[in-house]
Structure 1
């Protein structure tokens, strides 16, 4: 049986490994991300494709099966907001943490924006939309 300490250590090591890989392939660099979103460099798209191919193989080996269900009502507007925020700020929710750790302090603004956005989503959901509780993160 695994202890909490072992699980925490495993999560920390996995997080450090992910941060190392993400930084070394360029996902922590705003300029690289901007070049991807403006279609100036397809290298980052190829990295995404490689990641998808790897996870498909892992899921196949682990025999992970999911039955497609109905698309949640918040998926499309959430995806649009997420993509817009990523294109503007140069990072999805994990990337700004890597950017700050790499010394790029303006990414703190992105982190604050992510937290504020999730709080606003939770407020708007409770007041207007009444979707399930897990649809806004935090």
Structure 2
């Protein structure tokens, strides 16, 4: 059995490797993301597509079977909000952290927006929707 320290160290190393890779391929650059979302440059879009193809192949080789579970009414509006926020801010929840670490301090506004959005989601879920616990992220 792995100790907590070993798991933490593995997560830190993996996170640093991911951050390094994502930064070097341009995912932390707002201009690159803007070009992807406006279809001016398909390089990053193709990188996403390549990642999906790779994981599908790995899952097929390992015979991983996923049960997607139920899809509730919040999935479509949530996906639209997520995509809109990503297009406006230039980052999904992980990218602004990479941008801040790279010295792009305006990304702190995006990080704050992610935190506020998660808090609002939890509040609205507890008060109105009563969906499963993991539906609001972090």
TM-score w.r.t. length of structure 2: 0.94
- Superposed CA deviations along residues 68-112 of structure 1, whole A, max 9, x for unmatched, are 443222211110110010000000000000000000000010000
Q: SS in structure 2 opposite 1:86?
A: helix
Superposition RMSD in Å: 1.2
Q: Distance in 2 between matches of 1:22 and 1:75?
A: 26
In 1, Cα distance between the equivalents of 2:105 and 2:24? 18
> CA separation of 1:100/1:60 partners in 2, compared to 1, >3 Å: closer, same or farther?
same
Aligned partners of 2:81 and 2:114: how far apart in 1?
A: 11
Counterpart in the other structure of 2:43: 43
Question: How far 1:21 moved relative to its partner?
Answer: 0.9
Q: Which residue of the partner structure matches residue 65 of structure 2? A: 65
Who is 1:124 aligned against? Answer: 124
Distance 1:120 1:75 in 2: 16
Deviations for 1:31-90, whole angstroms, at most 9, x for unmatched residues?
Answer: 000111111111110000111011112212221102344322221111011001000000
1:53 aligns with 2:53: yes
How many residues of Structure 1 are paired with residues of Structure 2 in the alignment?
138
* Structure 1 stretches of at least 4 aligned residues deviating more than 4 Å after TM superposition: none
Q: Counterpart in 1 of 2:21?
A: 21
Q: Which runs of 5+ in 2 are unaligned?
A: none
Q: Give the gaps of 5 or more residues in structure 1.
A: none
Aligned to 2:111: 111
Q: 2: distance between equivalents of 1:67 and 1:105?
A: 40
